[in-house]
Amino acid sequence: MSAYIAPVREIKFMLAEAGLDTIAALPGFEEATPDLVDSILEEAAKIAEETMAPMNRSGDIQGARLEDGVVHSPDGWPEAWNVLVDGGWIGLPFAPDHGGMGLPNLLNTAVHEMWQSANMAFALNATLVQGAAHALELFGSDAQKAEYLPKLVSGEWCGTMNITEPQAGSDMAAIRSRAVPEGDHYRISGQKIFISYGDHEMSENIVHLVLARTPDAPPGLKGLSLFVVLKVLEDGTRNDVHCVSLEHKLGIRGASTAVLSYGDNGGAVGTLVGELNRGVEYMFAMMNHARQAVGLQGLSIAERAYQQARSYARERVQGKPVGCSGPMPIVHHPDVRRMLMGMKARIEAMRGLIYTAAAAIDVAHAHTDEAARAKAHQLVELLTPMVKGWCTETGQSVASIGVQVHGGMGYIEETGAAQHLRDARITTIYEGTTAIQANDLLHRKVLRDGGRAISELLDDVMLSAEAMRTGSDASLRVVGGALKDAAGQASHVVAWLLAAAPNDARQPSAGAVPFLELMGIIVGGHCLAKSARAAATAQSELAEADPFLTAKPILARFYAEHVLPQTLALGAAIMFGGASVMALDEAQL
């Protein structure tokens, strides 16, 4: 497996494009000075390259293991976790009142991109801890915040989200775990599965956020409440929650994925978060945080797979490429170049989309103008399923192309290319499958408001596309034309969806995933195009060519010519292909 080199300049460029300077001027983010931002990025890159990345392959081979009731992480992982704790890294986006640094979510996203690229299985724990802290910050009582947030924000304690049960899967309405009131607390019983970092020895305690229902709760989603259950109680005794097994997984093997049993010995002690029967509402705050983070994993694993494929292609000599006089590295073969260009272009489109969404979260949280906050919140809601759904599907595709670049050696575990593909595979599944994200985009974000929000987004794309289409840069004119055609196709599709849904909701639903892909391609392409235009402007002010800047318009043109045309086929499948999806009888499948 090749070394990971954090793309710090690329990240800084995209942070600027996403408006970090503007966000740093918002109330609460005053500490995000350019010098501090640079220092944080450089140090985070160092941790990624020197601490996390060297454990990636060994962690995959060794895996998490359960021995005599104790879960052990791969060698070196507890020590690496202490590096994050000692540096206060978990607290980067949290308020100083809780021991955090008070820095923007956008900067936190950039840091976690590098960490997830370096070692996705290890860095997942930091994401979960931040998610648990975020949920308690929003909905916990004053007492819960005082007791748990300092420990979570510091990283001394870790956190999980406990939703899935064997009979429930993605159907939270089928959750059966029970919470019986007993004095000032509850006794929790039931079994939870697929709990990432559900048990381990990297921290002295774990804060489990558990969905369960009280005896008199209404059925379905409306009867679920959220509870805090500690692994270790205040008096130092073990709570009645135990890891009974670890899943043997395709990827992210170093991360413990636990089956947790609550209440084998009378019931685990838990305390209610917020109000009864509002657990799903509260948990979605953590889930939406997780969906943004998992979309980031799609970008991160793609970046890692691309770096490895590029390194291999530059070194591997095989055959005489077309137009060359003799054997040369395979990077000179046109098809290998096509694959690498496709990987790189999609990565930059994903980075643009994810950083745009991360910046909107900061604006929605901190802007002083209510209208600006509302507009940013609308954008976050609209982009979240694209971030989670499209970026993970694209990350998985890029990781697969990385194996292809290696040829037969990509199928051999020792090269490391296969691990990236195996690690990427979970991202389209956990925290809501691609279909769940697609249905969220279609039904809640498009049909529910009559297409208003998505039409506003497409209008913005159209304006940018027209400005580029009529500009002086030849590459950007091509980009603008292709982007305008794609946005126009999306507008036709939205109109069709709005008209078709009242008549037969199954046909639009059959096209939900293609619609998610169509919108991801367009919004990612829009971000890529804007960064290309910014790079061209910056290059025009320099006396000499900067390869970093001159590459961006070329990359955007590649995307316009190879990726954006896919939206025409996707649009046709959405509008005309729904009936055939449901045409076969179940027995004929």
Looking at the structure, tell me whether residues 32 and 169 fall in a common domain. no
Backbone angles phi, psi at 162, to 5 degrees: -115, 100
Could you list the residue range(s) of the whole structural domain that residue 39 is in?
8-156
75 domain residue, yes or no = yes
Q: Of 313, 301, 361, which is closest to residue 340 (Cα–Cα)?
A: 313
129 domain residue, yes or no = yes
Instruction: Work out the burial of residue 70: count CB atoms within 10 Å of its CB; fewer than 13 is exposed, 13-18 middle, 19 or more buried.
Output: exposed
**pLDDT above 90 for 285:** no
Q: What are the C-alpha distances in Å from 538 to residues 13, 212, 348, 364, 550?
A: 11, 55, 18, 29, 10
Number of domains present in the structure of the chain: 3
**pLDDT above 90 for 429:** yes
501 domain residue, yes or no = yes
Looking at the structure, tell me whether residues 79 and 193 fall in a common domain. no
Judge whether 518 and 493 are in contact, CB under 8 Å. yes
Looking at the structure, tell me whether residues 111 and 251 fall in a common domain. no
Q: Cα separation of 532 and 14, whole Å?
A: 11
- Hey, which residues does 260 pair with through a beta bridge? 192, 243
Q: What is the CATH number of the domain that holds 270?
A: 2.40.110.20
**pLDDT above 90 for 576:** yes
Three-class secondary structure of residue 243 per DSSP: strand
**pLDDT above 90 for 287:** no
**pLDDT for res 124:** 98
Q: Which amino acid is at 561?
A: E
14 domain residue, yes or no = yes
Q: What sign results for the dihedral spanned by CA atoms 48, 51, 54, 56? A: negative
Read off the pLDDT of each residue in 61-90 and give the average, rounded to a whole number.
97
> Band of the pLDDT at 61, cuts 50, 70, 90?
very high
**pLDDT for res 101:** 97
Query: Which of 278, 300, 327 is where one domain is finished?
Result: 278
**pLDDT for res 475:** 87
Average pLDDT, the chain: 96
Query: Which of 156, 180, 195 is where one domain is finished?
Result: 156
Residues of the chain above pLDDT 90, percent: 95
Read off the pLDDT of each residue in 282-311 and give the average, rounded to a whole number.
94
Judge whether 506 and 456 are in contact, CB under 8 Å. no
> Which three-class secondary structure string do you get for 37-76?
HHHHHHHHHHHHHHHHHHHHHHHHHHCCEEECCEEECCCC
Q: Cα separation of 547 and 558, whole Å?
A: 16
439 domain residue, yes or no = yes
**pLDDT for res 471:** 83
> Band of the pLDDT at 171, cuts 50, 70, 90?
confident
- Which two tokens mark 64? 């998490």
45 domain residue, yes or no = yes
Q: Cα separation of 508 and 223, whole Å?
A: 30
**pLDDT for res 352:** 98
Q: Cα separation of 513 and 439, whole Å?
A: 8
- Which two tokens mark 467? 């400005």
2 domain residue, yes or no = no
Single pTM value for the model: 0.97
> Which three-class secondary structure string do you get for 500-523?
HCCCCCHHHHHCHHHHHHHHHHHH
Judge whether 45 and 6 are in contact, CB under 8 Å. yes
- Which two tokens mark 520? 């991801």
Give catalytic residues, as residue numbers: 431
Judge whether 262 and 192 are in contact, CB under 8 Å. yes
Q: What sign results for the dihedral spanned by CA atoms 31, 36, 38, 39? A: negative
Read off the pLDDT of each residue in 246-258 and give the average, rounded to a whole number.
98
Strands 185-196 and 178-182: antiparallel
Q: Cα separation of 466 and 481, whole Å?
A: 7
455 domain residue, yes or no = yes
**pLDDT for res 1:** 78
Q: 333-388: per-residue pLDDT in tens?
A: 999 999 999 999 999 999 999 999 999 999 999 999 999 999 999 999 999 999 99
Looking at the structure, tell me whether residues 218 and 260 fall in a common domain. yes
Q: Cα separation of 193 and 170, whole Å?
A: 11
Three-class secondary structure of residue 270 per DSSP: strand
Q: Of 396, 497, 387, 521, which is closest to residue 448 (Cα–Cα)?
A: 497
Q: 9-31: per-residue pLDDT in tens?
A: 999 999 999 999 999 999 999 99
Read off the pLDDT of each residue in 432-439 and give the average, rounded to a whole number.
96
Q: 480-509: per-residue pLDDT in tens?
A: 999 999 999 999 999 999 999 999 888 899
Q: Cα separation of 116 and 48, whole Å?
A: 8
> Band of the pLDDT at 330, cuts 50, 70, 90?
very high
For helices 279-315 and 391-406, give the axis angle rounded to 10 degrees: 20
Looking at the structure, tell me whether residues 145 and 218 fall in a common domain. no
Q: Of 564, 582, 559, which is closest to residue 510 (Cα–Cα)?
A: 582
Q: Where are the alpha helices (DSSP H) in 155-223?
A: none
Looking at the structure, tell me whether residues 145 and 176 fall in a common domain. no
**pLDDT for res 474:** 87
Query: Which of 278, 301, 334 is where one domain is finished?
Result: 278
- Which two tokens mark 150? 């300092």
